[in-house]
Amino acid sequence: MSDRKKEELAKRKAFESEALPHMDALYRTALRMTKNQNDAEDLVQEALVKAYRFWDKFEPGSNCRAWLFKIMTNIFINQYRSKARSPMAVNVDDIDDNFLYGQLAIVGSDNNPEKQMFAKIFDDDVKKAIESLPDDFRLVVVLSFLEGFSYQEIAEIADLQLGTVKSRLHRGRKLLQKVLFDYAIKNGYVKDKTV
């Protein structure tokens, strides 16, 4: 076997062991980003092809998952968003900071109520609520709440300033609180003070 074939085989094995275990997480996020199964599959495929092509740029021992998400997010921003419709206009000043927070019926020892709620109730209504978010807010919400990335990792993945990540996450959280309020009452996650 030639040296070139040996190098290619080693590259493929390293890629398969480091990158491919993150395929499901990439697909989940791509589906929420594109809101379309075929586009999500294409986005993940394109991200993995690009990651494989530039595998020599990946630093072994670093966070492969974050590196893959950054590649996929950049592809999405550069290609898919340009095809999408105009961003939805939202007046975030109309959304009260404590809209859902102050009304949670059960708050456990976890000091992060939205993560606790998403862990318990991730059905079609919640998926639709996340999909209804404007792209910029949806991306940081998905990366934070559903994929568990830190603010700094999200900033690196989405190529944003840390303050922008925090701001978008805050606004995205407020939008979700408003959209999910009736759902939360119906399912007993929120006390209805009118009863």
- Please indicate, yes or no, if residue 79 is contained in any of the structural domains: yes
181 lies in some domain: yes
Task: Clarify whether residues 57 and 97 are in a common domain.
Answer: no
pLDDT at residue 117, as a whole number = 55
Write out the residue range of the structural domain in which residue 103 sits: 92-186
Percent of the chain beyond pLDDT 90? Answer: 35
Lowest average pLDDT, out of 26-40, 62-76, 176-190, goes to 176-190
Summarize the confidence of residues 166-195 as an average pLDDT. 80
Give how many domains the chain has, as a whole number: 2
Instruction: Indicate the range of 49-53, 173-177, 188-192 predicted with least confidence.
Output: 188-192
Residue 162 is assigned to a structural domain of this protein:
yes
- The pLDDT of residue 82 is 61
Please report the pLDDT score of residue 60 as a whole number.
86
Among 59, 83, 107, the domain-final residue is 83
- For the stretch 16-50, pLDDT in tens is 999 999 999 999 999 888 888 999 999 999 999 99
**CB-based contacts of 103, cutoff 8 Å, min separation 6:** 181, 184, 190, 191, 193
Whether the pTM exceeds 0.85: the reply is no
